[in-house]
Structures are given as C-alpha cells and as structure tokens.
Structure 1
Amino acid sequence: MKTLIAAAVGAACMVMAGLTMTETAAAQDLMVEKKVFELPSYTTQGGRTLKNVKVGWESYGTLNADKSNAILICHFFSGNSHAAGKYAAADAAPGYWDAIVGPGKAIDTNRYFVLSSDTLVNLNTGDPKTTTTGPASLDPDTGKPYALDFPVVTVGDFVNVQKALVESLGIRKLALVAGPSMGALQTYEWAASHPEMVAKAMPVIGAAEADAQLIAWLDVWAAPILVDPNWNKGDYYGKAPPNAGLAKALAVVTLQANHQEWANATFGRRAAKEGEEPAKALANRFQVQSILDTAGEARAKVSDANHFLYLVKANQLYAAGGVSLADAATKIKAPVLLITQPKDLVFTADAIDRTAETLRKGGVDVTQAFLQGTRGHLDGVISMKQAEGAIRAFLEK
C-alpha cells in the first residue's frame, strides 16, 4: 500500500511539475544549459508596454550554417522550457518530451537545432530554472511586484516574445513548431499569425480555439484561488500567499489532465488512512482525495497564484490567429500533424474533430495520429513515444 501511494504521489507531482514519468524515457547524455532572453521593452497585444521582459530558454543540437534546421517546442500550462535532456547528471528526470527529443530520436538533435522557452506569466516562479515576467515580477517603475497591475496577456503575446527570441538567433523560418496542450495553442498561433515562418506544425492534445465548455472549466480551475482570503484581490506579495487555494486549483488541473481509468485503477475506493473509513466521519477521506491534495500542496510552494490566473485568462481568450478557428484555417499554410488522445478530458474528442474539420475546410493539409493509454490528456506528455513513427514520417515529407 505504501509503495502504491508513493507512486501515485510521485505521478501527480510530476504531472504538475511538467516532468516526464520515468516510464516514458530513460535518462540519456543530452545535457542542457538554461539561458535568459531579455527584451528592453515589449508591447502586448492589448497595447501595454512592459520594460525589461525576461524569459528563460534552452536548446539542444546545433544550428546549421544557413539556420534552416531550427525546431521550436512550446510548453504546456504548468510546464516550462525543459522539454528534453537534463541540467545535471543527478537530475531525477529529464525534460517532459525526452522520449521524442534527443540524439537519434523522432526529433533528432543530431539533425535539428531544437529550442524552447518559458512563457510570459509562467506558473513556476519558485523554480530557479524558470525565468518569466508576470504579476510576481518587479515593475521597474515602482520597484514593487506588478500584482494585478500586470496587463492581461494572450497566447499571441507568448508567441510574439518567442518570435523575438527566434529572430535574435538569426532564424527566419522554423522547420517545425510543436507542443502539447497550451503548447498546441502556441503552435496553432505560430502557424496562423506567422505562416511565413512555419514550415510544419505539430499541435499535440490541443484544439485551435477555446470553446464555451473549456472557458467554463478553466473558471473552475481558477475558483479555489479566488475564494482563498489570502488572495486579497491579487495583493499578497510580502504577505501570506493563497497557497491553500492554489493547491486545490492544481489538484483540479491534475485530475482533469488524467482519466478515470487511471484514477480507478490506481486508487479505487480505498480510504486515505487504514482504519479511517470515509463513512465513519465527515473528515475521513478517500485515498484519491488525499493524494491529489498532497501533490497540489507540494506544487503550490513553487508556483504563483496570480500567474495561474493569468494563464487561465490567456487560455480562455484563445482563438488561433486572434480571431476564430475558421479565420485561422484560411491563414495556416503549413502542413499539420495533429496528435491527440481520444480519452482527453481537457480538449475533448469533439473539440479536436471540430478543429481538424475546420482546418481541412480552409485548405490545411492535416494528418492525424492518436495516442492510446489510460492517462487521457496527460498521454500527450508522457506517452509520446507511441507517435515516434508518425513524427518521423511527418518530418521527412
């Protein structure tokens, strides 16, 4: 029982920390250095100019002489730039897509220069390997954290900062843009807003527009933070942070990112503690409740609640190209490999079908590949080796 519980806690923590499961890929010799990209100023799509914008980034492989072999990987909601490799040999696990990014792998770093960056308002403000600009950052004009004075930012803003990074390296066209979940949203955005810069696109476990159902679910994700009195309308820096609300929010994300097959097989209806049956007292809990909460509490300690809320807003606002899925379908010129999981509870099968159908009607060349497993949405992070053949074939086309 203890082994099972430890494994479940570890799995849930890895989900939210953006780390791959050890079952997906063995550690290898790809060693990575985290760097920082800085813009003296950046004007958001909403018209607000920010000073000293910083994001972290990393790369794998070597950029060729004509700079034509670059691939950009975009990360998911709770992730960061660490897509593959290790920062140090002693690291517990490699980056989340290490199963498909590396020497000789589907995205072969012997052939391609692969880069990935932290987004604006990245969740992982307490992670020393994450650099981001958001509500927790100091406003250069006041010397205090922005808090809710930070402007609303969009997936388009994430992409525009990435574009500045890419162009700073002298790269004019990307051989591939790819990413899971929120990384898929960034992938569609790249293809729709900068079609001249994207040769191929590989969105994974993501639709090209946030529909009403997703918008509402994202509101459910945010709700525990908003009712935590420590949130204090975003003004909590230098005070007790709203970690109770944030922990519960992260537990909700983890649950929806998985699937009932996994939950039932892993936890069943077991009590959290032997001898404390849930029917005996209101405070007695089921194991699945306890494990999700424990994982959420651990992750909340290195995350920021306001950043979580800004990420929610960016995802709610999302439509590829900034207008609509139908409009984006007329702008995307790159062929698309759309990799999804039919059991996904975040981007459901009908939302994926709607994206694929609309893109095809707009003239986009769409190839689909499907992942199998019991983890639902999360299979797009931890089960990507299944898609290795499809990815290799797509890159060779």
Structure 2
Amino acid sequence: MCSSVNAELLVDKQTFTSQNFKTFNGNNIKEVNVGWESYGNLNPQKDNVILITHYFTGNSHAAGKYDVADASLGYWDAIIGPGKAIDTNRFFVISVDSLANLGVGDPHVITTGPASINPDTQKPYGLDFPVVTIRDFVNVQKLVLESLGIQKLYAVVGPSMGSMQAIDWAAAYPSKVERMMSVIGAGQSDPWTTALLEHWATPIKLDRNWNDGDYYAGSAPIDGLTASLMLITQNALSADFFNQLGKQTVPFQALESEPLHDIRKSHSIVNWLRSRAQARATTMDANHLLYLVRACQLFITGHQHDFSKAIASITAKTLFLPATQDQLLMPYHAKQTHQALIDSGKKSQIKMLEGPLGHLEGVTGISQHTDAIRAFLKQ
C-alpha cells in the first residue's frame, strides 16, 4: 500500500499470483505473477477505486516513490496524490504490471512473459509463450481487483497502450466501469498504426542473436532492442522537440565532421538517441517488446470484429485527451472514437493536450488538464 511522508507518497510493490490463466486466444498460462501498487485507502463499500492502466514502456509505478531517496517519481505523480486531480484522500488508486512487461529486468517490475520460466520445461518460455492481447491485460487486472473484493471501478484511466486497456475495460465489462479516461489513445489499431508498430519489431528479428526468440542461454539481441527503442523514442516525440533538442542540447550540424569523413560515424543527434536507448535496454527484454507490439497491433475495442457494436456497449462517461503534436497515436484516433460514442448516444468529452512533446505530452504534460480531470471525476 502507500503512506504519505513529507507530502510524498511512499509505495510498496505487491505481488499477485494466479493459476491456469486462460488467454483470449484460448491458450493456458499455468502461473501468472504480476506486480501491483496502490495509493490511498479502499473505503468500506469498495466503490472508490480508480484503476490506472500503464503505457507501452511503463509499469504499475504511476505515482510516488518506493523510498524517500528515490530520484524519480511515478510517471503520473503530477496528477495522483493527496489533493491532486486524482485525489488519494478520496480515491483508492491501483495499477498493475502488464503481462510481458517490457521492464522485466527492473527489480520493481513483476511480470510473466517470454523471459519467465516455463514450468513444463524449467527453461524460459521464449516464443512458446502464448500471444497475449490487451484483453488479457484487462482480465489479469480484473483478477487482481477481485482478489481485493473490488467489483466495480469508479474510473479506469490510462495513457497510450493504457488507453487501449481503459476503453476495453469499458466495452468488456460495462456494468463495472462508471468512467473511462483515454489519454493519447486509440479505439483500435488501424492499418497505419499496425504497420508503424511493425517497425519496432523488425530490428529485433534482424539481430542475429535473436535466434527465433531462443537467446536466454546466450547473447541477447541488444543491438536490435536498442534500434527498436531508438524508433520508439523518436516516434513518441515531435519534430519540434527534436529540432529544439538539436539546437539547444545536442550541438547538431548537418555537416558534422565525423559523419562527413567516416560512414561508420553518426551525427550527434543520432548518438544522443542511441545512448538513451542503450541505457533503457539494460532492463528490458527483446521478446517482451515483440509481444507488446503484437498486443497493440491486435487491439480493437471489445475484441470483436464489430467496432460499432463494442462502442454501443459502453455505458461509462468518457473523456479523451489526445495530444495535438502526437505522431504515434495521432489525434484522429481519439476524435474518431469520441465521435463514435457521440453517434451512439453516449456522453463523451474531448480536450486537446498542447505542447512540443508529441505523444509524451500525455505522460509528462498531463498536469495541464488537472482541472478537466478533477471535474470529470466529480461528474
């Protein structure tokens, strides 16, 4: 749970275990272990619960610190906490690590995925791990909540891949979801998005160390993973941000000396991007990235072929917060889903996130809509 020390949330990571989890595609995972953390207190009626569903490279650490000495806070600490937009004096806020979480090497992440030990072989699953979907992430979260006696959500809120989970919650379990907030999100993966996501997977598959996913006893495909993370980072930012970075932080010049005289050398901006990706790759797993890509590619609200029918099943009040400069899940995704809800006679709102960070505006710039979030949660 969590406590408040010097106005900061201190949080403990909890572990949930489930046996014989049946996936959306009909496979069975003998044992699922996922981490979760919470902020605030569950009331006696257990009706003050807000579920935070995390983004692609994220995990359940949405707010606070694990220790007073931690250098960084949870990614949405700006809006989760005592007196904040998602007020932990009022709400019990909970978040769960996804299956196949990308940060499997992070000591604060607990997840089951391709890098986990297959109980049938006592070796890592590799590609024997079943394909998992956004619905599977939702159903694991549902099991965690039920283990706490929680049957209904005051709200489910998530950015990016988390927005997919949030809206799927609203479509799959409409009687359990009163409010849904989709940040930098989408209602389905369309042809453009599906093809774009494939570019994240390709470098890993081309790395000779990938070995068709069987690399756990040898050298991991770090080069491929690094290249994938470079793409993800650039896709998640805007052209304006990169160009400002080149001017202010990285001494970018088109005619830089090293790349001018040696084809093996890179421009300063590329070196910056690569070094950032290399640092992140140390706690991440290449196969896990492939599984998350596939979960996002397979996504459609309701996990059925009829998007309109799924939208019509939603009874929750909804709020969409797309980012104007988002080049990953471009604003048209949220606008189309919002309009589909309106056309279906549902109550929905949409407000734009402004700023130069592109897709990441939904993570680091979320506080600009503090008032809108607070008002939405009072409706």
Q: Which TM-score tier does this pair reach, normalised by the shorter chain?
A: over 0.9
Q: 1:280 to 1:390 in 2, by over 3 A?
A: same
Other-structure match for 2:143: 164
Other-structure match for 2:271: 290
Other-structure match for 1:334: 316
Contact 1:329 1:361 (C-alpha < 8 Å) held by counterparts:
no
Other-structure match for 1:94: 73
1:127 to 106, 130, 134: 106
Structure 1 SS opposite 2:321 = strand
Q: 1:46 to 1:94 in 2, by over 3 A?
A: same
Structure 1 residues 78-97: Cα deviation after superposition (integer angstroms, max 9, x where no partner): 00000000000111111000
Structure 1 residues 283-329: Cα deviation after superposition (integer angstroms, max 9, x where no partner): 33222100110011111111000000000000000001102432221
Aligned counterparts, 1:38-187, within 5 A? 38-187=17-166
CA–CA distance in structure 1, aligned partners of residues 309 and 208 of structure 2? 41
Report the AA paired with residue 237 of structure 1. Y
Other-structure match for 1:188: 167
Structure 1 residues 31-86: Cα deviation after superposition (integer angstroms, max 9, x where no partner): 00001000022000111111121000000000000101011000000000000000
Report the AA paired with residue 86 of structure 1. K
Q: 1:272 to 1:33 in 2, by over 3 A?
A: farther
Aligned counterparts, 1:367-382, within 5 A? 367-382=349-364
Contact 1:329 1:360 (C-alpha < 8 Å) held by counterparts:
no
- Number of aligned residue pairs: give it: 371
1:315 equivalenced with 2:292 (yes/no): no
Which is worse superposed, 258-267 or 344-353? Answer: 344-353
CA–CA distance in structure 2, aligned partners of residues 284 and 270 of structure 1? 15
Structure 2 SS opposite 1:133 = coil
1:207 to 179, 186, 194: 186
TM-superposed deviation, 1:275: 7.1
1:278 equivalenced with 2:259 (yes/no): yes
Contact 1:72 1:114 (C-alpha < 8 Å) held by counterparts:
yes
Q: 1:29 to 1:273 in 2, by over 3 A?
A: farther
1:325 to 303, 307, 322: 307
Contact 1:325 1:358 (C-alpha < 8 Å) held by counterparts:
no
Other-structure match for 2:242: 263
2:348 to 347, 356, 366: 366
Other-structure match for 1:217: 196
CA–CA distance in structure 1, aligned partners of residues 104 and 97 of structure 2? 11
TM-superposed deviation, 1:364: 2.1
CA–CA distance in structure 1, aligned partners of residues 50 and 221 of structure 2? 38
Other-structure match for 2:325: 343
* Identity fraction in percent: 47
CA–CA distance in structure 2, aligned partners of residues 56 and 156 of structure 1? 18
Structure 1 residues 168-202: Cα deviation after superposition (integer angstroms, max 9, x where no partner): 11111100100100000000000000011101000
Report the AA paired with residue 364 of structure 2. I
CA–CA distance in structure 2, aligned partners of residues 209 and 367 of structure 1? 18
Contact 2:184 2:331 (C-alpha < 8 Å) held by counterparts:
no
CA–CA distance in structure 2, aligned partners of residues 272 and 80 of structure 1? 36
Other-structure match for 2:338: 356
Contact 2:13 2:108 (C-alpha < 8 Å) held by counterparts:
yes
CA–CA distance in structure 2, aligned partners of residues 188 and 29 of structure 1? 30
Which contiguous aligned blocks of 4+ residues in structure 1 show a shift greater than 6 angstroms?
272-275
Report the AA paired with residue 389 of structure 1. D
CA–CA distance in structure 1, aligned partners of residues 186 and 338 of structure 2? 8
TM-superposed deviation, 1:277: 4.4
Other-structure match for 1:30: 9
Contact 1:271 1:278 (C-alpha < 8 Å) held by counterparts:
no
CA–CA distance in structure 2, aligned partners of residues 89 and 327 of structure 1? 48
Report the AA paired with residue 152 of structure 1. V
Report the AA paired with residue 367 of structure 1. Q
Structure 1 SS opposite 2:260 = coil
Structure 2 SS opposite 1:267 = helix
The normalised TM-score by structure 1 is: 0.91
Which is worse superposed, 287-296 or 105-114? Answer: 287-296
TM-superposed deviation, 1:351: 2.2
TM-superposed deviation, 1:270: 3.6
Q: 1:28 to 1:379 in 2, by over 3 A?
A: farther
CA–CA distance in structure 1, aligned partners of residues 229 and 350 of structure 2? 30
TM-superposed deviation, 1:102: 0.3
Contact 1:329 1:364 (C-alpha < 8 Å) held by counterparts:
no
Other-structure match for 1:20: none
Report the AA paired with residue 121 of structure 2. T
Report the AA paired with residue 349 of structure 1. P
TM-superposed deviation, 1:271: 4.3
Q: 1:339 to 1:271 in 2, by over 3 A?
A: closer
